[in-house]
Every structure is written in structure tokens, then in C-alpha cells.
Amino acid sequence: MFPRHSFRRLAMLCAPLLCAATASAELPTQDWTRTETRADCASYTPLRSPFFGETHIHTSFSGDAAFVRVRTTPSDAYQFALGQQIGLPPYDAMDQPTRFAQLRRPLDFTAVTDHAEFLGEIRTCLTVGLPGYDDPTCQAVRTELANPPAGINAPIPAVVVAFQLSIQAENPSRLGLCGPGNVNCLNQAALVWQEELDAAEQFYDRTASCSFTTFPGYEWTNNLDGFNLHRNIIFRNDEVPAMPTSYYEQPLVEGLFDVLESDCLDQPGNCDFVSIPHNSNVSGGLMFQATNANGTPLTKADAARRAEHERLVEVFQHKGSSECSPGSSPNDELCGFEQLQRTQLFNNANPSAAPPPTNFVRRALQEGLRQHDILGANPFPLGFIGSTDGHSSLPGGVVETDFGTTGHLGVRDGTAENILSKIAPGGVTTNGGGLAVLWAEENSRDALFAAMRRREAYATSGTRPIVRFFGGRPPKDACGNPDFVEEGYTRGVPMGGELGPVLAKRSPRFAVMAMQDPGGNGEPSTPLQRIQIVKGWVDKDLKIHEKVFDVAGDDANGAAVDPDTCAPTGTGAATLCRVWHDPSFRVEERAFYYARVLENPVCRWSKRLCNSLGVDCSNPGSVPTIYRECCSGIVPDTIQERAWTSPIFYQPEGIGTSGQIRFSQGVSGDRLRLQLTIGRVPSDFDVAANGLTVTMTEPGGTYSATLPPGALVERTLGRSYSYDDPAGTIAGVKKVRLRINKRGTATLTLDTIGIDLSHVAQTNHRVAVQLASGAYDETDSRFWEAARGKLRAQR
């Protein structure tokens, strides 16, 4: 099941098994170890804090950013993230920026992800004396950059198109300026990559203050046929490959992973990475098609490998939402949110048909479940983050009030006319982008990276609400319980986690809590409107389904904005909380659940900008042509900022435990009774042929019973099995019954004769129950509670 590289990551997957806690609520176990030299963080908290950041920002080291006259570097980007002012193009003749930008609230972390493709090319063309500098393409680059940029309606300059086209070809090749064997560009790319690493090192706070974290990273820019198949590669620490892998070297995602495995995971040391795809909304349906990139069908190993590397998806960024679309989710009225209305990044045409459903993450998650049922592994078990994808070195430049004046694409949106146009790339259908939020013990690379890998992450459309989401068996009254967080971890999994049938055939419970963004330094604190839980699932006929549940708040709270002043009206909630169970739960159906938290509406950036320009749509004749999109209605006046938590994945092949130990006063008189529920047994589940092993692990020791092949007797073909031994010769097991119903749901009961379980403490403690048979191997870990000579599995 695990690909060959999993050893490095296994340490991070271990469950909180063996904790000598006595209370019934405990702290979550840290699932990472430190791989770098740095001070421990003074503010470390095992209950984890939310860290707000950005994993997708470009600087002048990206070719397309250089073409829109951006001159700021990765160091500038990190300074901006820390709250310092930086310059924006256009630059005047004294090489001074004519515009400036400053983040109102600093970020906690940032990964600069310049395009791997042109790192060396742009440097070559702009550094006199370098081999390739005198190539005609470089001359054209310099000519383009020496002249004022063409107007927004002018065709894209030929030299820019040449760069673009080179990353759209199926068999891409670098431009001629790179020289024989591309040595010019590769040599420079290695040096530029070193500068990226130097900047990341310089701004990473390794002191106990832990005020800011950087990650080395880059973007692999697969733009096949104009469709967006881009990924950001984020590294765990400063142990990174000597070079980024570009689309030129590896035009298929599997090839990218080949190189990252050989040059990172397979190297001695602690190199590790996550791959984060983005803008599936303009991928022509290709980003999440259920095949390999070369068209061959996915195998279980292919799916597992993809899932191992791609833990997260950038569900929201400046080129729109990739969550869902009205076409693919007609019953979800909120899927119209920030749709890009383009089929390709660089295409101005209005889409003539609804975009392919596999452009959207919700469909990818559903398809992932379906493939899991078909193949035995889910290729798309994706957690969510948001980011900007800005190209002006402005990480976290997301604020509605600022985006209209700073933009994200250098001089491309340097004027109101440009940014309010409907011309790709950029323009009025784009937005300020989102943020990535990670729940981690501290603000260090190892801790944040572990959060990314376990998907304890959420995306926002730019604001900073605080959202917790747990699934499992949280107390029904968790919303009134001061131990909400402790109980969430103790009795379940956080966002991004995986669950089995923890409440036997009943729905697991989900506890969600949201607190409104407290705002700050001029950024608003907008109340919450409601929380929804989005469920996706696949039925026994492999059909996919989705349903959206309103679980807290009120969508009819009357909140609105005054269109003239943008002042909000009406009220909302500062906090929302709900413990919810799924009324449509079926224990045998694979499903995911994610929470969507809606704020009250505010003015969209475009509305603010149009208002500030004095545009009066009620008097069309007065509206200048260059501002016509203010009144065209192609974008709404308001936006409901929102957060999307990573999904919790329900895995029907997991087990749920109930049972008890009845302790006796005498020797060897303790009796164990276990009742295990399996939501759906896999097709190759065969206890008669494989036997089975039940193991109970706890701090005091282990109880294990293995029934060998043939021990369980098949009573009804494939449906019921039994084992009886009044003498209890195998670990005291007296009786085992296994019943599998037509839907594949199984119940296994096990009773022992009196045995010695004196290693089991008669206090509340955590017990892990494991059931293994053939390839099947599942564990349920929960508290068992002591009461009057008994120990019972907590419900």
C-alpha cells in the first residue's frame, strides 16, 4: 500500500497510540521530529495554533513577472510578508518604483514559488556578458523591457508569446538562447535557485521567537496546450535538490515525481516535499482526470503515489475558485463564487459551454472516492489551502480594499483601466486571492510541513477567520464544553484526517467551530453568516453524489452592504459552533465531509474601485468606456468571503470498537468481550483462508489472539463465520462470530474465557484495537473507561 518512499513519512503518520494519560481528554501527539538546526519555539502548544500564510507567490525571478516589469526579488517578497513596504512597477527613469504596497497584517509563513521554467532564461537575458545574452530572443526581451508596456488591448508581445508557447508544447524545448544542451540557462537557473534558497534562509526565523517561516519552493509550470496543470513544490527544509525540475525536463507529472523521488526522497538526509496543484479551474478537465498523464489507466500503485505526494490543493487563488461550479454542482447555490469565466489562462473568449466537471476540486474528491472503490486507493485525497499566485512579490496581498490599487501582475494591473478590463490574464474576474492556514504546534518548518502532510489545513478567500473541524465521537455538547479542542483530538480526528465507522453503523459526529476574523490595522472584522458541511460520497453502483448541509448560522440574517458606501448593514455571528451528524450516513459508503464557513457580504474589490472612481452605473452615459465592466454585471458587487476546511475522509473499511473487560478478583478470571464493526469489508476479505488476528495495545502491554487459516468455519457462504472453543486454547478465545451483510458491512464479536489481563490498568486510558486478516489491517484507537470492576470502550 505504501510506496517505497514512505519510510521517511511514516513517522508522521503514527497515531496517538500510547499515551499514559489518566483523564479522558488528552493532548494530541506531535507527529513530527525536527530535521533542522534551530531553537525550539517558545510559544509551542500541543493543542496547535492557526498560522496564516502563502504558498504561491512570484517575483521578478519568474519570467512572466519580469515581463510585467516587476523588479522585486524573493527577499522583497519575504520583507513584504513581514509587513515592510516594497515597490511596484512602473519604475521611473531613476529606477525608482512609482507605486508601493504594504501588508496590513504580516503573515506567519511564506513560500516563494517562482516558475522553474525561466529562472535561467531571464537572468541570462538581463545580465550583460552571460553566454546567451546576445541571442536575438534576449535582445527582444531587453527591447520589450526597455519600452513602455503596450496598452491593455494590444496583442501580447511576440517575445512573450514565444516564452508562453514553449511551455505549452507536448514535447517542450527551451529557447535557443539557452545554447547547446541548454547549458546557458541551466547554469544560471542553478545560481538563481541558490538565490531563492539564500532569501528563504535569510528570512526564516530560527530563533525561539518563531516569528516567521519560509519554505524553499518552486512552480512546475505544465501549460500543455494552454491548459493549466501547474504544481507548486514546497520543500520541508533546506535540504533540497540542486535544481528545480521544470516542464522542459519533465513534461508529465509522473516524471516530475520520478525526479523528486530520486533527487529528494531517496537521498540520504531529510529532504521531503509536498506537491500542490492549482487552477484546476482552467485545466480543461485534465488536472483530475482518473488516468495517468500519458492516458494509461491508473493502477492502485499510481493512485497511492499521487496521494502520497499531492496532499493539498490550492482551492482558491487570484484566478478564481476551483471548489465547484454551478454547472457541476447545480444544487449548491454558492458554487458561482469567483468563477474565472475563462477556459484557459491566456484566452479571452467567453466559455461557450460549462467547464468540465473535473476542473473542480469537489468532483476530484468524489472521483477520488470512486477510484478508491475501484482500485483500492484514492488518487485525490486532497486537503485545502488558498494562496494568491500573485506576480508582484506581494504574498498575502489579498485585501479587498487594496487589491484594486496594487493588483498582482505588475504593470498588467497597474492602472484602474487595466485591472477593470476583461482581458486575460488578470482583469476584473480575478481577485485578491486567498490564504493558507495551517494548524501546527509552532511556527517552524517541520511543524508547518507536518500540518500540510496531515492536511490539518484550511483555505480562505483572503480573510482570517479561525476554524476548527473534528470528526469522530466528539461529545454532543462539545460546543458548550471548554475542552472542545482537547475532546476533538481525543475522540476524533482534525480536518484532513481519516475516520472509520467509529460509532458502529451510526454516523460519526462532526464538531465545527468558527470565529470571525478579528481584523486589524484597517482590515475589517466581518461577522459570520453560516457554516455548511459539504458531503460527497459514492454509492454501491459507483455513482457519485454530493449534498450541502446548513449546520449553523442563518443565511437569512439580512446582512447586506450599502452599494454607495460599501458600509455593511445587518448583523451576523462572532462565533458559530455545531456538533452535527450526517442524517444520510450509510456505513458502507465511502464519503468525505468538509466545512464551508461564510462571512456576511462585503463589497468586492471591483465595486470599491469603481466607487472610488466615481462610476455611476445609474447614468450609463457618464461611464467612461475604460470602466464599462463596473456596470456590465459580469462580476458581482459583493463577495461573501469564506473558509473551506480540508475534508475529513470516511473510510468504510475502517473499524469501530465497542467492548468491555470484566475484571475478576482472582487470578486469570478476567473476561474480554469485543464487538468490532467494519463499514464495508474489502472484496478480498477472506477470514476462512487467511485467519485473523485481533490485537489490543495499551500502555501496560498487549493482548493478541491469532486464529489460523481454517479456524473460522464458514456457516453461510461468504456471510457468516464462527469459531468456538470452550477451552480457549488460543489466547483464551472462546467464541468468535463474524457476520457480513449484503452491503458488505461486517460485525465481529469475540469473547474469551477467564484470562489474565492484569497488565490492563483499571483506569481511563487509551486502547488501540487492531484487526488484521490477509491484506486487511485496520486499527481503532480510543479511550476505555473504568467503572466498578469493568473497563468499557468509550462510545
Partner 1 sequence: MDVAPAHGPAGRRTPLRALYAAARMPALHFLVIGGALATLDAARSVPPAPPARPPIVITAARVEQIRDDYTRDVGAPTRDELTALVAREADEEMLYREALALGLDHGDGAVKWRLVEKMHFLFGDAAGDPDAAYRRARELGLERDDFVIRNALVTKMRLMAKAASRSDEPDGPALDRALEEFMQTHADDYRQASRLSMTHVFLNAGTHGAALDATAAALARRLAREHLAPAAAARLGDPFGAGGTFREVAPRDLTKVFGEAFAGAVARLPLETWSAPIRSPYGLHLVWVSGRVASDLPPLAAVRSRVLRAYRSERRARYLGRLMDELRAAYPVEVEHAG
Positions touching partner 1 (CB under 8 A) are 39, 42-45, 47, 49-50, 52, 90, 92-94, 98, 105-106, 108, 127-131, 133-134, 148, 191, 198, 201-203, 206-209, 211, 464, 466-468, 478-485, 513-516, 518-521, 525, 573-575, 577
Among the listed residues 80, 367, 345, 307, the one whose alpha carbon sits nearest the alpha carbon of residue 222: 345
Residue type, 789: G
**Which residue, 203 or 593, is less far from partner 1 as judged by CB?**
203
State the amino acid at position 397 in one-letter form. Answer: G
The total of other beta-carbon atoms located within 10 Å of residue 336's CB is: 14
Contacts of 20 (CB under 8 A, 6+ apart): 699, 765
Identity of residue 44: Y
Residue of 685, 673, 677, 739 lying closest to 508 (CA atoms): 677
Cell 506567519 belongs to 108
Q: How far is the CB of 48 from partner 1 (least distance, A)?
A: 8
Which one, 27 or 635, has the nearer CB to partner 1? 27
Residue 731 C-beta: closest distance to partner 1, Å: 42
Output 436 or 573, the one with its CB closest to partner 1: 573
The residue among 286 and 551 lying less far from partner 1, judged by its C-beta, is 551
Contacts of 429 (CB under 8 A, 6+ apart): 320, 339, 340, 341, 342, 422, 634, 635
Q: Quote the least distance from Cβ 522 to partner 1, whole Å.
A: 10
Count the alpha carbons within 13 Å of 390 in the hemisphere toward its beta carbon.
38
Instruction: State the Rg of the chain over Cα.
Output: 28
Q: Please, which residue, 183 or 542, has the CB nearer to partner 1?
A: 183
Determine the distance from the C-alpha atom of residue 727 to the mean position of all C-alpha atoms in its chain, rounded to a whole number. 53
- Least separation in angstroms between residue 147's CB and partner 1 is 9
Element containing residue 417 per DSSP (H, E): helix 416-419
Select 480 or 563, whichever has its Cβ closest to partner 1. Answer: 480
The distance of closest approach from Cβ of residue 515 to partner 1 in the complex, given in angstroms and rounded to an integer, is 5
| Shortest separation between residue 386's beta carbon and partner 1, angstroms | 17
Half-sphere exposure of 270 (CA within 13 A, CB side): 14
Q: Hey, what's the cell of 464?
A: 482570517
CB 105 within 8 A of CB 51: no
Please name which of 425, 224, 404 lies closest in space to residue 319, comparing C-alpha atoms: 425
- Could you give the CA distance from residue 621 to residue 199 in angstroms, rounded to a whole number? 51
Q: Of 206 and 737, which has the nearer Cβ to partner 1?
A: 206
Q: How far is the CB of 332 from partner 1 (least distance, A)?
A: 26
Distance in angstroms (rounded) separating the CA atoms of residues 491 and 782: 7
Least distance (Å) from partner 1 to the CB of residue 124?
9
* Biggest alpha carbon–alpha carbon distance for the chain: 96
Q: Shortest distance, CB of residue 719 to partner 1, whole angstroms? A: 45
DSSP structural state of residue 264: I
CB of 490 to partner 1, least distance (A): 14
Nearer to partner 1, 194 or 299 (CB): 194
Residue closest to 154 by CA, chosen among 391, 421, 429, 431: 421
C-alpha cell at 587: 456505513
Q: How many Å from the N-terminal Cα to the C-terminal Cα in the chain? A: 30
Helix (H) or strand (E) holding 644: strand 642-645
Of 108 and 219, the one with the shorter C-beta distance to partner 1 is 108
Tell me the C-alpha to C-alpha distance, in Å, between residue 596 and each of 56, 159, 552, 583, 748: 22, 43, 11, 18, 37
By beta-carbon proximity to partner 1, the closer residue of 202 and 299 is: 202
**Parallel, antiparallel or unpaired: strands 492-494 and 466-472:** antiparallel
* Cβ closest to partner 1, residue 479 vs residue 626: 479
Enumerate the H helices of 248-318 as residue ranges.
253-260, 300-309
Supply the minimum distance, in Å, between the C-beta of residue 202 and partner 1: 5
Residue closer to partner 1, measured from CB, 459 or 577: 577
CB of 41 to partner 1, least distance (A): 8
Which residue's CB is nearer to partner 1, number 16 or number 106? 106
Q: What distance in Å separates the CA atoms of residue 582 and residue 536, rounded to the nearest whole number? A: 11
Q: How buried is 271 (Cβ within 10 angstroms: 0-12 exposed, 13-18 middle, 19+ buried)?
A: buried
Q: Report how far residue 204's alpha carbon sits from residue 198's, in angstroms, rounded to the nearest whole number.
A: 10
CB nearer partner 1, residue 26 or residue 108: 108
The least distance separating partner 1 from the CB of residue 98, rounded to whole angstroms, comes to 8
Report the residue number, 284 or 465, with the smaller CB distance to partner 1.
Answer: 465
Q: Which is nearer to partner 1, 518 or 708 (CB)?
A: 518
231, 220 Cβ separation under 8 angstroms = yes
- Judged by beta carbon, residue 129 or residue 151, the one nearer partner 1 is 129
Q: Residue 788 corresponds to which amino acid?
A: R
In the complex, what is the shortest distance from the CB of residue 471 to partner 1, in angstroms, rounded to a whole number? 16
Coil, helix or strand for 109? strand
- Cell numbers 496590513 correspond to what residue? 104
Sign of CA dihedral 274, 78, 609, 68: negative
Q: In whole angstroms, how close is the CB of 556 to partner 1 at the nearest point?
A: 17
CB of 191 to partner 1, least distance (A): 7
CA dist., res. 218 & res. 57, Å (int):
9
In the complex, what is the shortest distance from the CB of residue 531 to partner 1, in angstroms, rounded to a whole number?
12
Within 8 A by CB and 6+ apart from 333, the residues are none
- CA separation for the pair 610, 416 (Å, rounded): 9
DSSP character string of 31-78: -----S--PPPTT--TT-EEEEEEEEE--TTSHHHHHTT----HHHHH
Cell of 147: 519600452
**Residue 73 or 358: which CB sits closer to partner 1?**
73
